[in-house]
Amino acid sequence: MEKSKLKGMPFEVSRLCMGGCPAGEYGWGNVSREEIEHAMLHAVEMGVNFFDTADAYGLGRSEETLGETLHACRNRIAIATKFGVRVENGKTFWDNSPTYIERALAASLKRLHTDYIDLYQVHNLDGVTPIPQLMEALIAHQQKGDIRAIGLSNLSPGDLPALLPYREYIASFQNHFSLAHRDDEAAIRDIAAGLAAAPLTWGSLGQGILTGKYGADVHFGADDRRSRAVYDNFYGEKLQKNLRIVEAMRPIAAAHGVPVSAIAVRWIWDELPGSVVITGVKSPEQAEANAAAMTFELTAAERAALNEVSR
């Protein structure tokens, strides 16, 4: 398994990270906790040692499942979780305040059955808490040992100037990026260079469209977030373009004897140096298909073809 070194982490993490949103068992259609547990254990067997979750996923359910399932191999894996989404009386607020960090961190540690978090990430900057206040609260927890590394998420280039003074403390940031979503590519490169931080990509499989299993007639039930038009990978002109990308991926996958999803992962690894690709996974079979990305290299011609069709 290819590895990446993140500032503050004592060991290298796999460049494939298992995404824990489906483990929240909410908004991803039919999800079985048993299958998710098997997927987590199988991922570890295959050399994946990096697991992403958030306190918001299933309002803690995802963290609980991760903490319970991987407790026995806790010292061999890195857990990344996020805070900053506060839900009260059914309403959702972004909250990065130091007071809320205390509450959120204590609750995450408990649900994860651990006394430290490898990578603690700000889910979204709330636009209210001053960056120095936020960063100093996180650095204090890092020095205490509650968290090993600090990460951010959903950054835009405008966030960079305020974060630059904390460059030495920022290990990573998570942003939306895939063959189906290259809109923020230049920003991701600039932020990664500016902060010397590892880009972690989410939506890496285009929420599933880049696995090749969905066609023009794709339809999701009301219990699946992808039934909402905001998941634009599955609608209109964007869907048509994504299906053309998948058609370009198929012969490349066949040439290497790997599933289409592995092409989506490999392409990001090659395009973004030092990146970690997060893939949301519901079953051991999906985990295995995505991990096939480590079994081959893309040729220059294949990369060029993928870049052209996804431009």
Measured CA to CA in angstroms, residue 49 lies from 73, 82, 152 at distances of: 10, 18, 20
Closest Cα to residue 148, out of 289, 287, 8, 25? 8
Question: Of the candidates 27, 29, 98, 274, which one interacts with ligand NAP according to CB under 6 A?
Answer: 29
* Phi/psi-derived region of residue 222, left when phi > 0, alpha when psi is between -120 and 50, beta in every other case: alpha
Query: For the chain, what is the largest distance between any 2 Cα atoms, rounded to a whole number of angstroms?
Result: 54
Is 39 buried (19+), middle (13-18) or exposed (0-12) by CB count in 10 A? buried
Provide, rounded to whole angstroms, the least separation between the CB of residue 300 and ligand NAP. 25
What is the C-alpha separation between 201 and 209, in angstroms, rounded? 16
Nearer to ligand NAP, 101 or 292 (CB): 292
Question: Of the candidates 69, 114, 211, 275, which one interacts with ligand NAP according to CB under 6 A?
Answer: 211
Question: Of the candidates 14, 69, 114, 207, which one interacts with ligand NAP according to CB under 6 A?
Answer: 207
Local structure of residue 21 (DSSP, 8 states)? S
What is the C-alpha separation between 73 and 71, in angstroms, rounded? 5
Please give the backbone phi and psi of residue 38, each rounded to the nearest 5 degrees, phi first.
-60, -40
Which residue has its beta carbon closest to ligand NAP? 19
Pick the piece of the chain touching ligand NAP (CB under 6 A) from 16-24, 127-135, 156-164, 234-242.
16-24
Footprint (CB under 6 A) of ligand NAP, residues 46-65: 52
Nearer to ligand NAP, 97 or 242 (CB): 242
Nearer to ligand NAP, 165 or 260 (CB): 260
What is the C-alpha separation between 126 and 133, in angstroms, rounded? 12
112 sits near ligand NAP (criterion: CB under 6 A): no
118 sits near ligand NAP (criterion: CB under 6 A): no
Size of the site for ligand NAP (CB under 6 A): 30
Footprint (CB under 6 A) of ligand NAP, residues 263-282: 278-282
Question: Of the candidates 167, 213, 228, 244, which one interacts with ligand NAP according to CB under 6 A?
Answer: 213
Looking at residue 246, its amino acid is V
Q: Under the rule (CB under 6 A), what is the footprint of ligand NAP?
A: 19-22, 28-29, 52, 123, 153-154, 174, 202-208, 211, 213, 259, 261, 278-282, 286, 289-290
